[in-house]
A and B are shown apart, each in its own frame.
Chain A
Amino acid sequence: MNERVDPREGYNDASAKAEQQAASAQTEAQKKLHDLLATLWEQRKNILIERLTTLQESIAGLEAPAAEASRKLGAETAHKLAGILGTFGLPQGTEIAREAEVTLEKDGALSPQEIARLHQITEQLAKLLDQRSLPNGR
């Protein structure tokens, strides 16, 4: 039998194999990164919890005489939390920390409703950090 073979077939096989190998290496790298991030989370979660405490204290200090300093510290802390929580798999944490940052950076006095919302945000953040810290949390 005189079989005719497309000369591109060998090339296509090699190309598909190379693609498969690259995909497999990428999956391995992703798994390794996932494990490294889980370890890093374990090392760093207490620092994030400390930041949340700082934010809670800053918000509690908003009605005190030195409210301006509290507000600045609160905005900076909320900014830091917003910048990292999503990277650790807590996008909702980033969203509400950012909301707190924007509120704390506003000009003028905050309304009682805004302050109440800030307290609510810190409670929500505490819950999210708690859930993320559970063994099966991502």
Chain B
Amino acid sequence: MARRILIIDDEDDIRQVAALSLETIAGWDVVLANSGGLGIEVAATEQPDAILLDVMMPEMDGPTTFLKLQATPETAKIPVLLLTAKVQGSDQRRFAGLGVSGILFKPFDPLLLAKQVSDVLGWKD
């Protein structure tokens, strides 16, 4: 059965490129949300195998969204990978300290995104 990935990002471009990439290269099902609040709702109903979560979003940012996902029993066990354009070491340490499953960096290579997700999560298929 195909993996299902939820992408939470306020940027249309990023959501669309990431979705095309994961669907075309890996054959995964992709669901999208354009805000942290909507992403939490979608995660609870869709039960994705993993979540790609943008860091900088208006209203509810990625770290806050992650903490809420963790605090919600229906979504607490879903692995979350942060997707960020922040490359400074201090930002990376802060994000890693949250307890996310991994951090992926923007800009990503659309040809390699699925492999990066699989590698971080230890998916063999």
Contact = CB atoms under 8 A, between A and B. Distances in A.
B111 interface: yes
Interface in A10-58: 26, 29-30, 32-33, 36-37, 40, 44, 47-48
Contacts of A88: 17, 107
Interface stretch (B20-28, B39-47, B116-124): B20-28
B25 A84 contact: no
B108 interface: yes
Contact of B17 (A30, A37, A48, A91): A37
The contact size tier of chain A is 20 to 34
Contacts, number: 63
Interface stretch (A66-74, A75-83, A113-121, A125-133): A75-83
B20 A79 contact: no
B13 A84 contact: yes
A86 interface: yes
Interface of A: 26, 29-30, 32-33, 36-37, 40, 44, 47-48, 76, 79-80, 82-88, 91, 94, 98
14 contacts: A26-B25, A29-B24, A33-B111, A36-B24, A37-B17, A40-B17, A47-B12, A79-B56, A82-B106, A82-B107, A84-B11, A84-B13, A84-B17, A87-B107
